[in-house]
Chain A
Amino acid sequence: MKGIKTLALGAGLGSLLLSAAWAEGLDGKVIGFSQIGSESGWRAAETSVTKAEAEARGIDLKFADAQQKQENQIKAIRGFVAQGVDAILVAPVVATGWEEVLTEAKEANIPVVLLDRGIEAPEDLYLTSVASDQVVEGRVAGEWLVAAVGDKPCNVVELQGTVGSSPAINRKQGFEEALAGKDNLAIIRSQTGDFTRSKGKEVMEGFLKAEGGGANICAVYAHNDDMAVGAIQAIKDAGLKPGADILVVSIDAVPDIFSAMATGEANATVELTPNMAGPAFDALQAYWDAGTVPPKFIITESKLYTPTDDPQGEYERRKDLGY
């Protein structure tokens, strides 16, 4: 116990000294982060990237895992307010029910930044929100395919996410927007693969059988990389070459799609960056240093990756992020 106290004292002194050295910036700031949980590999990567970003900036990050429960997030935010942190990051698990606890944070003058998802609450309760634009993700994937096939006719099959989920609706919409007016491209089949590898594989098997063993299919568009990985295996099982006989384009940019890309089995992926915290920290720094009030919605970049972007290197960079 005494050792821990000494340690804490040492750390406190150390951070005091450090913050004296760099008065500007985020060094020594205490920021609480209420994460949803570890529901998916992407979420785990978001957590590890957030910790890394905080460490690089010298931030003392207080991390709270809510295990997919809103009440745990509310408890965590109340705890951060009681500890008197400098700012709070929240990846909200649901959209509603945040007014009360965010009002408490506002009254304590603690800025709150939402990560990855939006909420239904008055906009003055939070400083800003950092998220990707899922429609843009779908559009970037679609535009890549339009450019890749040129004037050739191309039948596309689509592996949708979970029926009714917002990424499935938005990524479908964005892709269709990109294909609108291109008469040589048609989405001939579209089914849900529930964002999982095994359902992606099963649905693709069905598509291949129904479309002349795959002869009528020129490309597959999957709403996430995991379904694309499953589809790639189904294409191989049908005796075709994924990436050549059937083009594969998907969204998320998880490590395994880069290893498929490195062997030429996947053609393109659009990144859903796990680095939501970086822009959030930048916004907080600008807010504290210069009083700049950030826009309410900060949209992260939806970057396209193709086999020319060093897929093996990207795989190595990402594989230890916890995906």
Chain B
Amino acid sequence: MTRPTIDLRPTTQPPYPRARPIHAFFTRPQVIALIAVLLVNWMLFPGFFTITWQDGRLFGSLIDVLNRGAPVAILAIGMTAVIATKGVDLSVGAVMAISGAVAATLVSSGVSAPVAVAAALGAGLLCGLWNGILVTVLDIQPIIATLVLMVAGRGLAQLVTEGSIVTFSDPVLVFIGTGSILGLPTPVVIALLLMIAATLAVRRTALGLLIEAVGVNRSAARFAGLSAGALLLIVYTFAGFCAAVAGLIVAGDIRGADANNAGLWLELDAILAVVIGGTSLLGGRFSIPMAVLGAIIIQAMNTGILISGFSPEFNLVVKSAVIIVILVLQSPLSARMFRGRSGGNSGKAK
């Protein structure tokens, strides 16, 4: 039996230039979009950029954007890795509900908070591992494999909470949702640390390159000697872990686990954040910080709609209009037009 030969020589252009000029950052469509959304918010509400110090923490609309955007940003970190392998994880919203339900039920039955948090994170890891096994061992397409847990997971969470909102006042869990570290809300700090850790893990080691290799062509990656299965297991388990962290945050925020609504439809926001961040759903090249930026853009839009005073019937229309504009800005067509007009220089900022 002959195997196809693969050309493993490096391409002429390295895919990741390590140092980029600072102006390249500001001409990225995501950054332009974020600045535009923030400016519109500021026009709608002049006090938007005002940040004050209150009760030992920063207080203002901009802080709200970061704080409310943190759960989706955390989901997007895990989702980016999954999507880079040409997969998708629809179950993250349901895993959030499971994690919150496990933590809340345990603390309200007298278990200590660290144990409850560990159990919730463990439940998230297990859910992610389950998805990974379905995708790798049983070779089910990711969208179907994770759909199973998306539907069943919320039911599991409801079983854990017995259908009601389990409330708690445990200081540790409440701190995760609403506390502050050095003036910044805890969720923001958690998201930031997770983003930095994940980015370092994929960019300072070969992990990122391996993920991209699997995403571009799983068979080719395997033939090249890469254990694609193990890598996918890690990636899905990590997405489950991120979802569990986000679940703890939203439960802590309302001091209760709402199995019916926690994380509902957030998997779609997370996928959108990843796409806004420029990662292709076809796998391959990805960027975790850009996905986090995507989550912040989505939340800046949500917050803008809330403070603008539009009637709620317009919420989704405004949101979808802005998203269409952002995606058009990112499309290859507009990138070509942009490059043509500005002499082929700034348009290369990818």
CB atoms of A38 and B163 under 8 A apart: yes
Give the residues from 179 to 196 in chain B that come closer than 8 angstroms, CB to CB, to chain A.
Answer: none
From B161, which residue of chain A is reached at the shortest CB distance?
A41
A229 and B254 in contact (CB under 8 A), knowing A41-B164, A205-B64, A323-B164? yes
A202 to B312, CA, bound (A): 14
CB atoms of A197 and B254 under 8 A apart: yes
Residues of B within 8 A of A206 (CB): 61, 64, 303, 306-307
CB atoms of A190 and B64 under 8 A apart: no
CB atoms of B55 and A198 under 8 A apart: no
A203 and B258 in contact (CB under 8 A), knowing A41-B163, A209-B64, A239-B54? no
CB atoms of B163 and A44 under 8 A apart: yes
Check A210 for interface membership: any CB of B closer than 8 A.
Answer: yes
CB atoms of A163 and B313 under 8 A apart: yes
CB atoms of A163 and B312 under 8 A apart: yes
CB atoms of B255 and A233 under 8 A apart: yes
Q: Interface size bucket, B side? A: 20 to 34
Check B309 for interface membership: any CB of A closer than 8 A.
Answer: yes
Give the residues from 141 to 164 in chain A that come closer than 8 angstroms, CB to CB, to chain B.
Answer: 160, 163
Cβ-defined partner of A322 (8 Å) among B163, B254, B303, B307 = B163
From A202, which residue of chain B is reached at the shortest CB distance?
B68
Check A305 for interface membership: any CB of B closer than 8 A.
Answer: no
A323 to B315, CA, bound (A): 30
A209 and B61 in contact (CB under 8 A), knowing A38-B163, A256-B165? yes
CB atoms of B306 and A203 under 8 A apart: yes
From B45, which residue of chain A is reached at the shortest CB distance?
A210
Cβ-defined partner of B254 (8 Å) among A189, A191, A198, A210 = A198
Least Cβ distance of A319 to chain B in Å? 9
CB atoms of B254 and A233 under 8 A apart: yes
User: 1/0 contact trace for A254-283 toward B, CB 8 Å?
Assistant: 001000000000000000000000000000
Check B136 for interface membership: any CB of A closer than 8 A.
Answer: no
Give the residues from 17 to 69 in chain B that come closer than 8 angstroms, CB to CB, to chain A.
Answer: 45, 47, 54-55, 59-61, 64, 68
From A161, which residue of chain B is reached at the shortest CB distance?
B312
From A162, which residue of chain B is reached at the shortest CB distance?
B312
CB atoms of B163 and A189 under 8 A apart: no
User: 1/0 contact trace for A170-191 toward B, CB 8 Å?
Assistant: 0000000000000000000111
A49 to B86, CA, bound (A): 50
Least Cβ distance of A37 to chain B in Å? 9
A229 to B167, CA, bound (A): 11
A256 and B55 in contact (CB under 8 A), knowing A206-B306, A233-B255? no
From A38, which residue of chain B is reached at the shortest CB distance?
B163
Residues of B within 8 A of A323 (CB): 164-165
Least Cβ distance of B19 to chain A in Å? 39
Give the residues from 188 to 230 in chain A that come closer than 8 angstroms, CB to CB, to chain B.
Answer: 189-192, 194, 196-198, 201-203, 205-207, 209-210, 226, 229-230
Residues of A within 8 A of B253 (CB): 198, 201
CB atoms of B47 and A209 under 8 A apart: yes
Cβ-defined partner of A160 (8 Å) among B250, B254, B312 = B312
Check B330 for interface membership: any CB of A closer than 8 A.
Answer: no
CB atoms of B254 and A201 under 8 A apart: yes
Residues of A within 8 A of B162 (CB): 322
CB atoms of B164 and A192 under 8 A apart: no
Cβ-defined partner of A191 (8 Å) among B45, B164, B312 = B312
Least Cβ distance of A237 to chain B in Å? 7
Residues of A within 8 A of B255 (CB): 233
Give the residues from 307 to 325 in chain B that come closer than 8 angstroms, CB to CB, to chain A.
Answer: 307, 309, 311-313, 315
Least Cβ distance of B57 to chain A in Å? 9
CB atoms of B254 and A230 under 8 A apart: yes
Check A308 for interface membership: any CB of B closer than 8 A.
Answer: no
A134 to B185, CA, bound (A): 38
Check B256 for interface membership: any CB of A closer than 8 A.
Answer: yes
Check B345 for interface membership: any CB of A closer than 8 A.
Answer: no
Residues of B within 8 A of A44 (CB): 163-164
Residues of B within 8 A of A192 (CB): 312, 315
From B261, which residue of chain A is reached at the shortest CB distance?
A196
Chosen A-B contacts, 9 in total, with CB atoms closer than 8 Å, are: A41-B164, A160-B312, A163-B312, A196-B258, A202-B68, A209-B64, A210-B45, A239-B54, A322-B164
Task: Give chain B's interface residues, CB within 8 Å of chain A.
Answer: 45, 47, 54-55, 59-61, 64, 68, 158, 162-165, 167, 178, 250, 253-256, 258, 260-262, 302-303, 306-307, 309, 311-313, 315
Task: Give chain A's interface residues, CB within 8 Å of chain B.
Answer: 38-41, 44, 160, 163, 189-192, 194, 196-198, 201-203, 205-207, 209-210, 226, 229-230, 233, 237-239, 256, 322-323
User: Can you name 13 extra interface pairs (CB under 8 A) apart from A206-B306, A206-B307?
Assistant: A39-B260, A41-B163, A44-B164, A190-B311, A194-B261, A201-B254, A207-B307, A209-B60, A210-B45, A238-B59, A322-B162, A322-B163, A323-B164
The 7 closest A-B pairs by CB, nearest first: A206-B306, A192-B312, A210-B307, A197-B254, A196-B261, A38-B163, A41-B164
